[in-house]
Structure 1
Amino acid sequence: MRRMTNRRSARLLAVLTATAAIAAAGAAAAPALTGSGDGPSGQKQSKKPVAVGYGGAVSSVDADASAAGIKVLKQGGNAVDAAVATAAALGVTEPYSAGLGGGGYFVSYDAASGKIRTIDGRETAPKSADEKLFQEDGKALPFDEVVTSGLSVGTPGTPATWEKALGEWGTKPLGKVLAPAEKLAREGFTVDETFRKQTAENEERFRKFPDTVDLFMPGGKLPEKGSTLRNPDLARTYDTIAHKGTGPLYDGAIADDIVKTVRKPPVDPDSKKVRTGDLTREDLKAYEAGRQAPSHTRYRGLDVFGMAPSSSGGTTVGEALNILERGDLGKLSKKKLLHRYIEASRVAFADRGRWVGDPAAEDVPTKELLSQRFADSRACLIKDDKVLKSPVAPGDPRHPSDCGSGDKAAPTPYEGKSTTHLTTADKWGNIVSYTLTIEQTGGSGITVPGRGFLLNNELTDFSFEPADPDVHDPNLPGPGKRPRSSMSPTIVLDDGKPAFALGSPGGATIITTVLQSMINHVDRGMPLPDAINAPRASQRNAEKTEIEPRLWNSDLRPRLEDLGHEFTKIDELGAATGVQPLPDGRWLAAAEKERRGGGSAMVVRPSKK
């Protein structure tokens, strides 16, 4: 076991002991993979939420996607190569959550240097966009009109992210890394209940677009569970990118098809027309995935790294952790701990809404938002015997004052709860935490004809209008601007070495999912798989807190209601995945047991041989 530092608490030692016990059980229960769904390796894949072993690990929501990453690791690739391979396969099997038409955030740990590196692959607005992009006659457009339209489509960032990550940190060429996903698209994957349900939920808007129906509803009908769904168009697109790079997508024939589709969506003649967008070839050609420093905060002696703006994930998770660090959560009752977590989330979201936007266009006080001084000035708002009234007004991180609030309070706007997350690790100790999306489940609903992928509706993450006309909103649309995101890919280091990595989909609930999972693991001493699978609550500066059925039906709910909390029951929050190095040299991969139909954790070798 690696030498422990004085900063590590007895609680963290207990976590490692408990995790090692799970690891031992996992190693004993790691037979050859069998089950439904032919994966890209040619063997049948099944979903297992926990895997332990050697040589590297992959955790995602889908077994075929995790198998694609494992295949690349077995071929000598590193964690970056495996992350791109897994993401490309998710573009096949999870096309309503991610794909070439979307964007995301890539966070990686380099074992050789000990550094955390990030890529901002967020979609961008057209150069013609201004603050009134989603307004008409001085009023905000109806959300439902914008969601399924060309107007909501931003320039995709996912292909550029893959190319940049592989070019700077990978060991395999793009063609090799895309090969498992290309095969999967060509040969098909097995439709599960989640995929069928998501198709059914989007059926009405999908039917507006013949190309979308042809691709995801063969014969005009919902795909049956257990059937095989093929995507030869996407296989050809992957083949093009494998041989020519991303050039055709940003400055070639695929770019032309994207622009044509956005500017004149191919709508069924019998359907009501949808709004057009103003994306141009110049917008695609100008796109660049950005390199930037990660967000960083200290928590219980650990270094927590995440995604800095344009994502609000790193700053909001970090601020909430800083607020919570004032007390020893591990000694609190479940009621008091959940109360403080809810209130810290409420306050952090208030500050997120006022201050976070695209730093290329806005003056975002990232450093100040993550300062302990600011967190302490906000923590004094939280009382153990009563609940803050929402929406809470933001504080001023540049000029913090105890319990001080400034501008008018504003509720958190809606964000689509789709998206997907994956985590990878390799035999050298490198780690990737990567969240990618096309926004709402099914994105814009618009398939690029002949190309096999859906376009995002990511621009709906912008504010349609200011919450208060007298207060500047940093998340209004603008030319080439990135909309604010909640994606929170996170890597945690202990004394410079990886402790664990995790992330989740879920729109704005991503932040609370990552935050609560971290508290479960670090403060409550829960092994990582248990921390991920524990019941969740999500408070985002709203009157009511969303909670899952296991909390709704527990005795905690009435006890918290007695304090003044109000709750809304929601089926599930997030779908997290994580990886963790174990003291004996093995990797632990963890995913959901039930959410989104359960996730898929895999390792290269269950044993040393």
Structure 2
Amino acid sequence: MRPLLSLFVGLLLCSSLHAETPVQRPQHALVASAHPAATVAGLETLAAGGNAFDAAVAVAAALAVAEPYGSGLGGGGFFLLREAGTTPRYRFVDARERAPLKAHASMYATPGKAGQAPSLDGALAAAIPGLPAALAHLSQRYGKLALRDSLYPAQRLARDGIGIDALYRERVSWRLKAMQADPETARIFLSDNQAPAEHSLLRQPELASTLQRLADHGHAGFYSGRTADLLVRAVQAAGGIWTHKDLTDYRVIERQPLRAKLQDGRELITAPPPSAGGVALIQSLAMLQQLNWRKADTLTRDHLVIESLRRAYRDRGLLGDPDQVRNPLASLLAPAYLQQLARSIDRQKATPSSSLPPATAWHEGQHTTHFTVIDQAGNAVSATLSINLPFGAAFTAKGSGVLLNNEMDDFAKAVDEQNAYGLTGSQANLIAPGKRPLSSMTPSFVESAGELSSFGTPGGSRIPSMVLLGILEYLDGQPIERWATRPRFHHQYLPDVLEYEPATFSSQEKAGLLRLGHQLQSTNRRYGNLQVLRWNKQSGAVEGASDPRGLGRADTLALPPQ
């Protein structure tokens, strides 16, 4: 049996495993995103002559307007890029938010106002946004169109309005009290201080003006000038610690993706730190292959996935911002270590997390969005964006329309303190000036000489487990719709419980998992919003799927040969 991962994993700077000939082109371009309006914005940009990177700008900006609960100009994210060619090139654009320069490890030691968590609600919870810088960077360095052209669909949506749907109203219900506490947020995103009626219009004229300044002046149109003045003035007036230097100093960072050789000539290209998800994904896949998961019955297969996730999540507390802490990637991805992890899994019983050798746990946030794009040249983008909790910090900078993130809660406020999701802190992820918080966002490609597939989802700490389950469906030869619809379960080492969607397991399977020693806990709702695509390089066929748990849409576009 061939090992899933070769002896060389981690940052592969060597030549690609899957050189292709220039004649291999997709028959169609494709966009799959979490909102139909964003998918249309991407297709519109492709039809106007843009490439996948222009379309990614259009989709990300449109999501900022249409899904203010999931992403926005006040947030950040990760963009995994594939540049087409005889030997494809990959880039990872890190647009993760940064802690303000006045931030410090004990800044949340003093409680906030009654009923308010200062790392979750209000101006002090906001890190410096990265998404606007990413949009300008992608357009300038990789795009074919002017930034103003790629941003126009989002400006139009902000000006003319976007329909309120059931998902928007549900997200409001989760954060209503915090949103009511900020007059500007309540004015824009609520109606009479309550969730707007379904099918009413959300208009954001101030955000349209902010997008126009970004379109006209690129990076400087957000991080200096009028927009910066509005942001800093509002944050400081509300007790935050932003300065103009925080904004003018912000830059995206291009990093090398993590790459690992898979079985059958495939290669995984995934997110490096400050994402912890790529490491967990590589580790989990390595363990499962060594355990010959595809030969197992359904119950044993699920058990092996759970035990692999338990061990992979255990290691995530060792990771942090690579510009400020040393990430032990070579050790965590070493073949001998991965074999040791696999050998520690008992096929007949669950391993209590407390019995594993101790490791520092970690801290993570929650709400995100994801999209994926491919053009007819074979350029592709897999991007995951976030403002953390739904509607971020529930604080909008007056006059800008920019709803700010609460990503400061993704830092560890103390090594032994849990966040809102039961995840405890780590030394590597403590708050420091200018630092990027650890994230679970895991945009990923799997590529071979014959095909390219893309995976990604929102879902906070559950992101790596969802991406893993989608990739396992792909490796098992299942149709693309199954990658996105597959019932989900999750284990993150601590707390030592197996979370699962309703209807994931039959009564017989639940009984079997209990006999193996797993502690089961239903989420009582479905979660995640996986967006996937596949390009068959032999036939040229392109197909995509958008998770039916959300409102998203995957559509293709055929353009005449150029």
The TM-score, its normalising length taken from structure 1, stands at 0.83
Question: Once the 2 structures are TM-superposed, how far is the Cα of residue 249 of structure 1 from its aligned partner?
Answer: 1.6
Question: Once the 2 structures are TM-superposed, how far is the Cα of residue 71 of structure 1 from its aligned partner?
Answer: 0.6
Q: Please give the alpha-carbon distance, in whole angstroms, between the structure 1 residues aligned to 2:189 and 2:478.
A: 40
8 Å Cα contact 1:346/1:392 also seen in 2: no
Residue in structure 2 matching 1:124, options 93, 98, 109: 98
Correspondences of 1:534-553 after superposition (within 5 Å): 534-542=486-494, 543-553=496-506
Q: Does 1:157 align with 2:111?
A: no
Q: 1:380 to 1:421 in 2, by over 3 A?
A: same
Q: Does 1:327 align with 2:291?
A: yes
Q: 1:323 to 1:231 in 2, by over 3 A?
A: same
| Secondary structure, counterpart of 1:550 in structure 2 | coil
Amino acid at match of 1:152: A
Correspondences of 1:454-603 after superposition (within 5 Å): 454-467=403-416, 473-495=427-449, 498-522=451-475, 524-542=476-494, 543-570=496-523, 571-582=525-536, 583-593=538-548, 595-596=549-550, 598-603=551-556
Q: Please give the alpha-carbon distance, in whole angstroms, between the structure 2 residues aligned to 1:515 and 1:297.
A: 14
Question: How many residues are paired up?
Answer: 526
Q: Please give the alpha-carbon distance, in whole angstroms, between the structure 1 residues aligned to 2:462 and 2:283.
A: 16
- Counting aligned pairs with the same residue, the percent is 32
Amino acid at match of 2:401: G
Question: Once the 2 structures are TM-superposed, how far is the Cα of residue 472 of structure 1 from its aligned partner?
Answer: 6.8
Q: Please give the alpha-carbon distance, in whole angstroms, between the structure 2 residues aligned to 1:553 and 1:208.
A: 43
8 Å Cα contact 2:102/2:433 also seen in 1: yes
8 Å Cα contact 2:164/2:202 also seen in 1: yes
Question: Once the 2 structures are TM-superposed, how far is the Cα of residue 514 of structure 1 from its aligned partner?
Answer: 0.4
RMSD: 2.3
Q: Which residue in 2 is equivalent to 1:416?
A: 365
Q: 1:439 to 1:483 in 2, by over 3 A?
A: same
Q: Where do 5+ consecutive residues of structure 2 fail to align?
A: 5-25, 418-424
Question: Once the 2 structures are TM-superposed, how far is the Cα of residue 499 of structure 1 from its aligned partner?
Answer: 2.3
Q: Please give the alpha-carbon distance, in whole angstroms, between the structure 1 residues aligned to 2:97 and 2:492.
A: 24
Q: Which residue in 2 is equivalent to 1:298?
A: 261
Q: Please give the alpha-carbon distance, in whole angstroms, between the structure 1 residues aligned to 2:218 and 2:90.
A: 26
Amino acid at match of 2:442: S
Q: Does 1:383 align with 2:325?
A: no
Q: 1:552 to 1:472 in 2, by over 3 A?
A: closer
8 Å Cα contact 2:315/2:361 also seen in 1: no
8 Å Cα contact 1:65/1:90 also seen in 2: yes
| Secondary structure, counterpart of 1:515 in structure 2 | helix
Q: Please give the alpha-carbon distance, in whole angstroms, between the structure 2 residues aligned to 1:472 and 1:426.
A: 40
Q: Which residue in 1 is equivalent to 2:421?
A: none
| Secondary structure, counterpart of 1:144 in structure 2 | coil
Q: Please give the alpha-carbon distance, in whole angstroms, between the structure 2 residues aligned to 1:580 and 1:606.
A: 18
Q: Please give the alpha-carbon distance, in whole angstroms, between the structure 1 residues aligned to 2:75 and 2:433.
A: 18
Question: Once the 2 structures are TM-superposed, how far is the Cα of residue 599 of structure 1 from its aligned partner?
Answer: 2.0
8 Å Cα contact 2:78/2:94 also seen in 1: yes
Q: Which stretch shifts more, 483-492 or 360-369?
A: 360-369
Q: Please give the alpha-carbon distance, in whole angstroms, between the structure 2 residues aligned to 1:606 and 1:94.
A: 29
**Cα deviation digits, residues 17-47 of structure 1 (max 9, x gap):** xxxxxxxxxxxxxxxxxxxxxxxxxxxxxxx
Question: Once the 2 structures are TM-superposed, how far is the Cα of residue 371 of structure 1 from its aligned partner?
Answer: 2.5
Correspondences of 1:117-196 after superposition (within 5 Å): 117-136=91-110, 144-196=117-169
Residue in structure 2 matching 1:317, options 275, 281, 284: 281
Residue in structure 2 matching 1:79, options 39, 52, 67: 52
8 Å Cα contact 1:102/1:436 also seen in 2: yes
8 Å Cα contact 1:391/1:410 also seen in 2: no
Correspondences of 1:349-428 after superposition (within 5 Å): 349-353=313-317, 355-391=318-354, 393=356, 405=357, 408-413=358-363, 415-428=364-377
Q: Which residue in 2 is equivalent to 1:109?
A: 82
Question: Once the 2 structures are TM-superposed, how far is the Cα of residue 553 of structure 1 from its aligned partner?
Answer: 4.7
| Secondary structure, counterpart of 1:291 in structure 2 | strand
**Runs (4+) off by over 3 Å:** 141-145, 218-221, 408-413, 605-608
Q: Please give the alpha-carbon distance, in whole angstroms, between the structure 1 residues aligned to 2:294 and 2:330.
A: 28
Amino acid at match of 1:371: A
8 Å Cα contact 1:412/1:540 also seen in 2: no
Amino acid at match of 1:588: E
8 Å Cα contact 2:306/2:490 also seen in 1: yes
**Cα deviation digits, residues 390-441 of structure 1 (max 9, x gap):** 2564xxxxxxxxxxx3xx345554x333110000000001110000010111
| Secondary structure, counterpart of 1:106 in structure 2 | strand
Amino acid at match of 2:486: A
Question: Once the 2 structures are TM-superposed, how far is the Cα of residue 197 of structure 1 from its aligned partner?
Answer: 1.4
The TM-score, its normalising length taken from structure 2, stands at 0.89
Question: Once the 2 structures are TM-superposed, how far is the Cα of residue 517 of structure 1 from its aligned partner?
Answer: 0.8
Q: Which residue in 1 is equivalent to 2:17?
A: none
Q: Where do 5+ consecutive residues of structure 1 fail to align?
A: 1-5, 9-52, 266-275, 394-404
Correspondences of 1:275-290 after superposition (within 5 Å): 276-290=239-253
Q: Which residue in 1 is equivalent to 2:16?
A: none
8 Å Cα contact 1:391/1:409 also seen in 2: no
Q: 1:231 to 1:428 in 2, by over 3 A?
A: same
